[in-house]
Structure 1
Amino acid sequence: MKLRTLVPLVLTFGWLTGCQTPPDRQQLENQNAQLEADLARARAQIATLETQEQQLRAQVDELSRVMAVLDTEKTVRVQESSQLRGQVRRYVQNEIDELKDFMMQSNLLDYVGGELVERSGIDNDPKLLIDLANPMPGTGTLTGVSAYFLKPGTFTVQVLRPVQDELLVIWKSAVLSAEQAGEQRINFPVSVGVEQGDVIGYIFHQPGTLSFDQGTGNTLYTESAPNLGQSVKIRALDGDDEKRAYPVGVYGLLN
């Protein structure tokens, strides 16, 4: 009974084994060929990219060379331009200085201020003197100051602009120096623009540098001088009832 059962099983196993076929060789060859083609295309792309990289590197090197040349040329042009501008500025400044000297010597500049004569009164301490009697009659440029000095001394000049009931300091000169007594004209290191209605303030650092008269002017004063950008109230100034006049003023070109 067992033998009869075993024989059919052996026959069935043999039949199944005989029915199995080996893998499709043609399919494997096709897949291998496809992979080789893909690999060849990848290698070709890599070669193309390497060629492009070399070309780009060459372009970068060329651009770097051109930029270096341009930087050198720009530096040379800037140096030449700076030298030329410096020469032109010096020439123009010399011409301006000569023109200012000519106009000053010929009394062709506009003068705004008090008469340049010796007066009777003398200040005993330094003050900011604000000449309200001689506001600027028009817009223009101030180039210097004139005064009748009793003795040598130093001073500064301010331009003040009326703003409602205050005077705002919009410009302040460097320290100027009068080297001797008498009528002197002193140029500002830098000219200053003014507008109609601006008034001029003077601070003489040594007592007795200028003289003054009373009753003929309208110069107010204060011992607390405002700095550049600060303002002073007109009603806070002293000397309203004295009507002082000082021998000092400014000159320039006014419209």
Structure 2
Amino acid sequence: MRLLLALCVVGFLLGGCAAPTEEMKKLQLQNSNLQGELAAAKESISELEQQKADLTGQVEQLTRISGTLEREKAVRVEETGQLRQGVRSFVRSQLSSLREFSKNEDFLDYSGGELIERSGSPGKSVSLVDTQNTMGYNGTLYGIRGQFSGPVALRLAVLRPIKQRWVVVWNTEKLEVKKPGLQQVDFPVPVSVEAGDLVAYQFPDEMPVACDKGTGGLLMIDQQLESGQKLQQQQVGSFQGYACSIGVVGILGE
């Protein structure tokens, strides 16, 4: 009996000592794993810090490059603006010289009534649509030429026949003729026309242009025309149209 009790005590003591040893091994294994994870985390953090430093350097370099490009762009824009301004000035001077040469040498095409002295004038605010002298070709108009009895303000409208209507596709700003006699006034900007287009001469105040009634194809309209306006096409009856000493100059058949 005593022997059996002694064996039980020894077994209990041996079992109690074995349990802490297994637990210790587990703790050591976990500690080892944590140490490995910590080392891996430190290595990852080190790599990320290096990447951050590299990216920071790249950002700084790109910022410097961007600043340089912005300065270069500003310089190019300024140079381009100066170049465009110079080209525009040159083109304007060349166009002015060409117009003056064309006017002096009678080089431009003319479309309109004969520039002669006539017996009368409507003498009121009207628009005259030239149904007789339609544009025979595509081209560019540079101004108005006419026989005027005094100073006058006028505008030119370009009408395009579309589906039995005349559509106002262009309207110049107000032009001023300052002297009487045979005068030519140039448009600030050349006006493009197409074959079949008509022109209308608009006189907001009065019309000091020499005209004869019943011998031409100018149709009188008691209104000022606006861009985009549509008019019903009309035919000039016999002995009803006006013939006036006014027309347009340009280069037709381009």
What's the counterpart of residue 119 of structure 2?
Answer: 120
What's the counterpart of residue 49 of structure 2?
Answer: 50
Query: What do the CA deviations read for 1:127-178 (whole angstroms, capped 9, x no partner)?
Result: 1100111111111100000011111110101111111321110100110001
Matched residue pairs, number?
246
Q: Structure 2: how far apart are the matches of 1:83 and 1:252?
A: 31
Q: Which amino acid aligns with 1:223?
A: D
Q: Structure 2: how far apart are the matches of 1:23 and 1:170?
A: 103
Indicate if the aligned counterparts of 1:220 and 1:240 stay in contact, CA closer than 8 A.
no
Please report how far the alpha carbon of residue 14 of structure 1 lies from its aligned counterpart in structure 2 after TM superposition: 5.5
Indicate if the aligned counterparts of 1:222 and 1:238 stay in contact, CA closer than 8 A.
no
Q: Structure 1: how far apart are the matches of 2:203 and 2:224?
A: 11
Q: 3-state SS of the aligned residue for 1:75?
A: helix
Q: Which amino acid aligns with 1:221?
A: M
Answer yes or no: is 1:85 the counterpart of 2:84.
yes
What's the counterpart of residue 67 of structure 1?
Answer: 66
What's the counterpart of residue 28 of structure 1?
Answer: 27
What's the counterpart of residue 162 of structure 2?
Answer: 163
Q: Structure 2: how far apart are the matches of 1:186 and 1:196?
A: 23
TM-score, with normalisation over the residues of structure 2?
0.90
Answer yes or no: is 1:252 the counterpart of 2:250.
yes
What's the counterpart of residue 192 of structure 2?
Answer: 193
> Please, which moves more after superposition, 116-125 or 141-150?
116-125
Q: Structure 1: how far apart are the matches of 2:141 and 2:53?
A: 67
Q: Structure 2: how far apart are the matches of 1:165 and 1:37?
A: 92
Q: 3-state SS of the aligned residue for 1:171?
A: strand
Indicate if the aligned counterparts of 2:141 and 2:190 stay in contact, CA closer than 8 A.
yes
Query: What do the CA deviations read for 1:105-137 (whole angstroms, capped 9, x no partner)?
Result: 100100000011221122142111001111111
Please report how far the alpha carbon of residue 47 of structure 1 lies from its aligned counterpart in structure 2 after TM superposition: 1.0
Indicate if the aligned counterparts of 2:217 and 2:236 stay in contact, CA closer than 8 A.
no
What's the counterpart of residue 108 of structure 2?
Answer: 109
Superposed, which structure 2 residues align to 1:173-252 within 5 Å?
Answer: 173-235=172-234, 241-252=239-250
Indicate if the aligned counterparts of 2:215 and 2:239 stay in contact, CA closer than 8 A.
no
Indicate if the aligned counterparts of 2:125 and 2:206 stay in contact, CA closer than 8 A.
yes
Q: 3-state SS of the aligned residue for 1:218?
A: strand
* Identical positions, percent: 35
Q: Structure 2: how far apart are the matches of 1:247 and 1:226?
A: 21
Q: Which amino acid aligns with 2:72?
A: E
Q: Structure 2: how far apart are the matches of 1:116 and 1:83?
A: 44
TM-score, with normalisation over the residues of structure 1?
0.89
Q: Structure 2: how far apart are the matches of 1:213 and 1:241?
A: 10
Please report how far the alpha carbon of residue 228 of structure 1 lies from its aligned counterpart in structure 2 after TM superposition: 0.2
Q: Structure 1: how far apart are the matches of 2:11 and 2:127?
A: 126
Q: Structure 1: how far apart are the matches of 2:72 and 2:240?
A: 68
Unaligned regions of 5+ residues in structure 1, if any?
A: 1-9
CA 131–80 in structure 1, closer or farther in 2 if over 3 Å, else same: same
Please report how far the alpha carbon of residue 12 of structure 1 lies from its aligned counterpart in structure 2 after TM superposition: 11
Indicate if the aligned counterparts of 1:150 and 1:209 stay in contact, CA closer than 8 A.
yes
Indicate if the aligned counterparts of 1:136 and 1:194 stay in contact, CA closer than 8 A.
yes
